[in-house]
Amino acid sequence: YSLKSTKELLFQEREIRNLSAEIESLKNPQNLNPSPRLDELREENTRLKYRLNILKRSLQEEKTHCGKSTMNINQQLQEIFGEAIRTSCPELENPPLAVTPNQQPKFGDYQCNSAMAMAQMLKAKGLKVSPREIAEKIIQNLPDNELVQKTEIAGPGFINIHLKKTFVSKLLSHLLINGAQPPPLAARKKVVVDFSSPNIAKEMHVGHLRSTIIGESMSRLFEFLGYDVLRLNHVGDWGTQFGMLIAHLQDKFPDYLTVSPPISDLQAFYKESKKRFDEDEDFKKRAYQCVVRLQSKEPDFIKGWNLICDVSRREFQKVYDCLDIKLIERGESYYQELMTEVVKEFDGKGLTQMDEGRKLVFVPGQSIPLTIVKSDGGYTYDTSDLAAIRQRLFEEKADIIIYVTDSGQATHFQVVFAAAQMIGWYDPQVTRVEHAGFGVVLGEDKKKFKTRSGDTVRLMDLLEEGLKRSMDKLKEKERDKALTPEELVKAQRAVAFGCIKYADLSHNRINDYIFSFDKMLDDRGNTAAYLLYAFTRIRSIARLANIDEAMLKKAAETTEVILDHEKEWKLGKCILRFPEILQKILDDLLLHTLCDYLYELATTFTEFYDSCYCVEKDRQTGEVIKVNMWRMLLCEATAIIMAKGFEILGINPVQRM
């Protein structure tokens, strides 16, 4: 589905609007002077209507068969009902359009709830029309389409929508042949996701875990949908603490310029230097001198700084390797030169004010100002975040920028974004700049997650504990007897890291969440362990029936997916809700929606599998007697969607568990 056909669709839609407007004006008797041209105009009207219908039909067909994309049924229904609503009430500007999946299957598959709100809007204009009358009008004006089998009006004016089974079946075949494909993009937008962001010389802890997991998953979602994604790690690699670290490095390893210092425990090294900084006045003075010399880019000091950064990077990379995280490091040091430009620009536009030697920026409507220059002439987080957003907008040419940090920084980012808008760097109507905040990680005692001694939990310790516990769980299930040593290690890593990620992503990121290994490794309920076992079971059905990939592929092209049993129908519709779910997450960046959906898909599959025979075997010999091919295809379609969902969440399923 190419850009060319997207342009054609837009052109056709514009043409339809123009023709509709022409027809409306022809309907208006004030525009028609009784003249010999009247018959001619009527004829023209009929011709226009005919052309309009042909265009509408071809547009509908184009959208229905849009290349390899998996159709978003909700979006299609919104377009169909949107058109009917506009035709029914042309006097309403922007009439409300509400189409949602129906919670109770007996009332249909989807529901349009616009009539009640439209009745209110008409009432405000002095027109009294009941919601039921509006609903009837909407149904009468529904354009020709392949999706809707029938509609019914319920209650005060809900429209229940029943989908055509043949159409749903056709969409499932399309999915089986093409795989889960993203919707067409009109233009390939550039997205910057800023996440993880640990501090050099400090160890990654549980707080970094959330940002890393959520940011990675958001990046994967944007990538799947066809965006050009730049994943940035805005590490803390500049500032006064480096003076203290370099001064301590000079004392402890005087030959650091020629012999690489054996700093294995950077955390301890940091604590030692901090203790000296707090207690020894001479050391403190030297530390400040080191900062000045580092900022002046003296080679020996840059070398010391690089050594410390490299030790940290190696430690961070161990975490990123475990969790399969891809990031480009662009720390605070990267923006140093750009900060001077930022201050100049704010000064030049008269947007700065002096206050006790500090340079402040007051943003209308914001409760706190930004400090862009400290009284000692140094820059701040505010300056570096302004420099970063400016670079991302002008050099990276980002269309979307997402910052994934804890909710405690929400106010800071709100002011930074408002300042960037005030100075004219971006228009929020055109560029999407958003802070995706998250709550804190709590221990099972519902207090901030810490070790028994009250220290912050090291991320590497947490991941190693996860590996240990997942191996215990696999052995408890006697998987060590069924799997080869290599398969067992693969399963161990998939379960451990999959469970840690899923436990985080399955909670609404805005809320705090309780970290519990027991809960996350439980194979019942909405957990990665349950989903991974369910996925492995689905994948094994074809294997047990001796059906290989080639046979499934051939069946997808030749076998109709029959949806007569209520559990087949329920599963078929659930599978096809995947594009709607992704669209919702694209709008609100809440990934737990995908976890909830995958859990619903797995439980819907279990209901189907328990009620509908896929493979019949001889009870005595265990030989396969009959394979129900369209049901095997439903198993395959479920697995395709689950695998794609796992990929977006960064969970690695294994074929055998």
481 and 621 part of one domain: yes
Determine the Cα–Cα distance for residues 79 and 1; give it in Å rounded to an integer: 19
* C-alpha 302, offset from chain centre: 38
Mean pLDDT for the stretch of residues 580-587:
96
What DSSP element (H or E) covers 605?
helix 592-611
- pTM here? 0.86
pLDDT band at 31 (very low <50, low <70, confident <90, very high): low
471 and 538 part of one domain: yes
Average pLDDT, the chain: 89
Mean pLDDT for the stretch of residues 471-488:
91
Q: Is residue 506 part of a domain?
A: yes
List Cβ neighbours of 56 (8 Å cut-off, separation of 6 or more). 16, 143, 144
Mean pLDDT for the stretch of residues 144-162:
93
Determine the Cα–Cα distance for residues 474 and 499; give it in Å rounded to an integer: 13
Q: Where are the alpha helices (DSSP H) in 153-280?
A: 165-178, 206-224, 241-252, 266-279
What domain range is 6 assigned to?
1-32
631 and 493 part of one domain: yes
Q: What are 494-550's pLDDT values in tens digits? A: 999 999 999 999 999 999 988 888 888 888 889 999 999 999 999 999 888 888 889
Residue that terminates a domain, selected from 316, 336, 371: 316
pLDDT of residue 59: 59
The mean-pLDDT minimum among 51-60, 379-388, 597-606 falls in 51-60
Q: What are 637-653's pLDDT values in tens digits? A: 999 999 999 999 999 98
**% pLDDT > 90, the chain:** 65
152 and 15 part of one domain: no
Determine the Cα–Cα distance for residues 196 and 194; give it in Å rounded to an integer: 7
User: Residue 1 above 50 pLDDT?
Assistant: no
pLDDT band at 587 (very low <50, low <70, confident <90, very high): very high
pLDDT band at 169 (very low <50, low <70, confident <90, very high): very high
- Residue 199: DSSP 8-state: B
Determine the Cα–Cα distance for residues 136 and 86; give it in Å rounded to an integer: 14
- For residues 31 and 471, the model is more confident at 471
- Encoded tokens for 573: 């519709």
Rg (CA), the chain: 31
272 and 133 part of one domain: no
Determine the Cα–Cα distance for residues 243 and 76; give it in Å rounded to an integer: 60
135 and 281 part of one domain: no
User: Residue 66 above 60 pLDDT?
Assistant: no
Mean pLDDT for the stretch of residues 296-301:
92
Determine the Cα–Cα distance for residues 467 and 489; give it in Å rounded to an integer: 9
User: Residue 88 above 50 pLDDT?
Assistant: yes
Q: Is residue 188 part of a domain?
A: no
Q: Is residue 286 part of a domain?
A: yes
pLDDT of residue 58: 60
Q: What are 418-449's pLDDT values in tens digits? A: 999 999 999 999 999 999 999 988 888 888 87
518 and 645 part of one domain: yes
The domain spanning residue 524 has which CATH number? 1.10.730.10
473 and 525 part of one domain: yes
pLDDT band at 8 (very low <50, low <70, confident <90, very high): low
476 and 526 part of one domain: yes
Determine the Cα–Cα distance for residues 428 and 426; give it in Å rounded to an integer: 6
Residue that terminates a domain, selected from 316, 351, 375: 316
483 and 626 part of one domain: yes
Determine the Cα–Cα distance for residues 248 and 277; give it in Å rounded to an integer: 9
Highest mean pLDDT among 94-98, 214-218, 287-291: 214-218
User: Residue 319 above 70 pLDDT?
Assistant: yes
Residue that terminates a domain, selected from 112, 128, 163: 163
Q: Is residue 447 part of a domain?
A: no
Q: Is residue 98 part of a domain?
A: yes
- For residues 130 and 32, the model is more confident at 130
The domain spanning residue 134 has which CATH number? 3.30.1360.70
Provide the number of structural domains found in the chain.
Answer: 4
pLDDT of residue 255: 87
Mean pLDDT for the stretch of residues 383-399:
97
- Encoded tokens for 16: 């339809």
Mean pLDDT for the stretch of residues 120-137:
91
pLDDT band at 46 (very low <50, low <70, confident <90, very high): confident
154 and 284 part of one domain: no
pLDDT of residue 30: 57
Q: Is residue 626 part of a domain?
A: yes
Mean pLDDT for the stretch of residues 611-615:
89
Q: Is residue 153 part of a domain?
A: yes
pLDDT band at 186 (very low <50, low <70, confident <90, very high): confident
557 and 487 part of one domain: yes
Q: Is residue 197 part of a domain?
A: no
